[in-house]
Amino acid sequence: MCFMRIDKKSMKNNNICFIIALLLILGCSKNESSCNFRIINQSGYDLNYIEISNNFDKIRCYDELKENDTLLKSLNFSKNLPMGDGNYVIKYANKSDDTITHSFGYYTNAKPSNKFAYQISINKDSIKVEEY
């Protein structure tokens, strides 16, 4: 039998290289394909319809979102989404049943951007969107 002598220093260097390579592979292969939304109703009235879209996939909520309540939803990016950049759109019906539309955020290469969650506060006369 033939044995190869390996010193501790080269073994340590090989282990470090292996760990770095593994982290790079795992880090680059991370496939975030959804974006989370926290919707807070601070409008002063109940909301009957809310829709969030990336212009290809949609979340629709027909349940009433009571005043001061919070709704948590996740928008999955389908495999049909063309490679490219875009933004999100929220639509909701106000108490006069007028549809309000607001664009916000962005995604790139058909995947969510750096932040994977948004908090959307629907106020009486405005919408506040924050990444978190």
DSSP assignment of 36-98? EEEEEEESSS-B--EEEESSSSEEEE-S-B-TT-EEEEEEEPPTTSPSS-EEEEEEEE-TT-P
30: confidence class by pLDDT, cuts 50, 70, 90? very low
Q: Is the pLDDT of residue 4 over 70?
A: no
Domain segments of the chain as ranges: 34-131
State the Cα–Cα distance between residues 75 and 59, nearest whole angstrom. Answer: 6
Asked if residue 1 has pLDDT above 80, the reply is no
Q: What is the pLDDT of residues 46-88, one digit of tens each?
A: 998 999 998 888 899 887 889 999 999 998 876 666 677 889 9
Greatest CA span in the chain, whole angstroms? Answer: 87
pTM: 0.71
The pLDDT of residue 7: 57
Domain 34-131, what architecture? Sandwich (2.60)
